[in-house]
Structure 1
Amino acid sequence: MAKDSFSLHDIVEMKKPHPCGENSWTIIRMGADIRIKCNGCGHSVMLPRREFRKKIKKVIAHAGETKEDESR
């Protein structure tokens, strides 16, 4: 199995937006299930890892990444 491209505290974009209109989420728990928190309204959702992999579109920012790291 390939290593996941996401980790704890990464900001990810999902394929479908949350009903509040925001499409970016922060990963707040990882294990067999992954809990993500909406960056718009703060609502959190827990998904099985397999379902999360299907619904993720891309990683927007990795944990600990700064604007200086992006410019390099």
Structure 2
Amino acid sequence: MNWRLRAACRDQDPDVFFPIGSSGMSLVQIAEAKALCGRCPVAQECLAWAVGAGRVEGVWGGTTENERRALRIREDLGS
């Protein structure tokens, strides 16, 4: 997981990437995390890791756990 050394989030408060809930202020927190991911040079590697790892909480590669679950379902249906 050498890509983590180049991640834009490595010097950020980790709490930003692990919101409690999916409404209210959590939506603001998710948007902030996704904005950081949008500027990250290793977002694709991060996303690939999170999708491959299965159920992983938080925002990884610019996606929430629910968004990654949907990606996995689409991948499974496409296979």
TM-score range with shorter-chain normalisation?
under 0.3
Using structure 1 for the length normalisation, give the TM-score: 0.27
* Structure that is richer in strand per residue: 1
* Structure that is richer in helix per residue: 2
